[in-house]
Chain A
Amino acid sequence: MTIYNLYMFDKTGSLVYYGEWVRKKPATMSKEEEGKLVYGMIFSLRSFLLKISPTDIQDNSFCYRTSKYKLNYYESPTGLKLVMNTDLNSSPKDLLKSIYAQIYVEYVAKNPLSLPGEYINSELFAQKLNQLVSMSPIYSQRNL
């Protein structure tokens, strides 16, 4: 059970944070471009799901699985979007919720120096995020 990486977007679509733990293939584009790509994909996927779903979507999260990885998505009611790529066996929905509630709210929303839409440069945020992720049962110490 492994966590590969995490993207966080605010409600306007700007990449607010990117964290990675395991990445075997090197990135072929810059972080901003990759962020735009991921955001465009989840935005389209989300509006597609809203239109095509047979029942009302109660939950603000979804996931998709390929043969190699699973992409998990969670959106807070304020529009903060968390995208986490994990291996196929993980179910990080609770982890995503606690990242929002315990890390983002505490270290970003309550930080008077962090402006909305700005990339999170806070080291404390990164440190607490790493702590929370490494304590989660999904995480495993797999190195490249």
Chain B
Amino acid sequence: MSRQTSRIADPKKVNSELFNLTYGSLVSQLVKDYENPEDVNKNLDRMGYNIGIRIIEDFLARTNFPRCGDMRDAADKIQQAFKMYLGLNPSIGNWSGASDEFSLTFETTPFAEFVELPDSCSNLKYANILPGVIRGACEMVQIEVQSWIQQDTLKGDNVTEIRVRFIKKLEDAMPAGED
């Protein structure tokens, strides 16, 4: 009975191993196509941006949150989104002095369960799609942020850290030709 209920609640849940393997094959295909890890990083970020601008609508539809007042609020919501969509639990920390920059820390790199980076790809940011998603989602709610991977367990660091920095608040655009 309980399995029935959870299926109705979220019929689109996918096995996480399947998802990780699919993401891995996506990244390896990108590496084959572009050959240069920097290009792969840029493309992952761009793909993440495109995902972010759409996933924010789904997130808002499910949670009904209003726009965030400040970065602490935004950080909290991003953390909830990770939990909702990926079942991951990053911790928030490393706030800058002005409270406009923070880190999301994961114990291991998301999606990298079966992954080892070869030496030819030492610059590759495997989970670079995630900073792109954060950037795209925030832009749709009028917050411009810069986000990047600071530390990566695939490269030997202790934790995986995504850093997010607030750049500015975007103003709603005036329609063209308004007096």
Quick check: is B56 within 8 A (CB to CB) of the other chain?
yes
Q: How many residues of A contact B (CB 8 A)?
A: 24
Cross-interface CB contact of A13 among B53, B54, B64, B175, cutoff 8 Å? B175
> Is A7 an interface residue when CB atoms closer than 8 A count as contact?
no
- Residues of B within 8 Å of A105, CB to CB, are 57-58, 60-61
The answer to whether B61 touches A13, judged by C-beta atoms less than 8 angstroms apart, is no
Task: Give the B-binding residues of A (Cβ under 8 A).
Answer: 11-13, 36, 39-40, 43-44, 58, 60, 76-80, 97, 100-102, 104-105, 109-110, 116
CB nearest neighbor in B for A114: B54
Q: Render B54-82 as a binary contact track against A, CB cut-off 8 A, 1 for contact.
A: 10111011101111000000000000000
Contact partners of A116 in chain B: CB under 8 A: 53
Tell me if B's interface is mostly helix, strand, loop or mixed.
loop
- Establish whether residues A109 and B57, one from each chain, have CB atoms under 8 Å apart when the complex forms: yes
Residue of A39, A44, A60, A77 contacting most chain B CB atoms (<10 Å): A77
Given the known inter-chain contacts A40-B178, A43-B178, A79-B140, please indicate yes or no for A11 contacting B173, CB distance below 8 A.
Answer: yes
Task: Please tell me if the beta carbons of B58 and A78 are within 8 angstroms of each other in the complex.
Answer: no
B173 & A77 in contact (Cβ 8 Å cutoff): no
A-B contact count (CB 8 A): 51
- CB of B57 within 8 A of CB of A78, answer yes
Q: How far is the CA of A39 from the CA of B67 in the complex (A)?
A: 21
Chain B, residue nearest A116 (CB): B53
Q: Are B61 and A79 in contact (CB under 8 A)?
A: no
Does B116 lie at the interface of the complex (its beta carbon under 8 Å from any beta carbon of A)?
Answer: no
CB distance from A22 to the nearest CB of B (A): 28
CA distance A116 to B139 in the complex (A): 13
Residue of A nearest to B57 (CB): A109
Complex-state Cα separation, A29 to B50, whole angstroms:
35
A44, A78, A100, most chain B CB atoms within 10 A? A78
Interface string of B40-53 (1 = CB under 8 A from A): 00000000000001
* Complex interface: chain B residues within 8 A of A12 (CB): 173, 175
Q: Which residues of B contact A109 (CB under 8 A)?
A: 54, 57-58
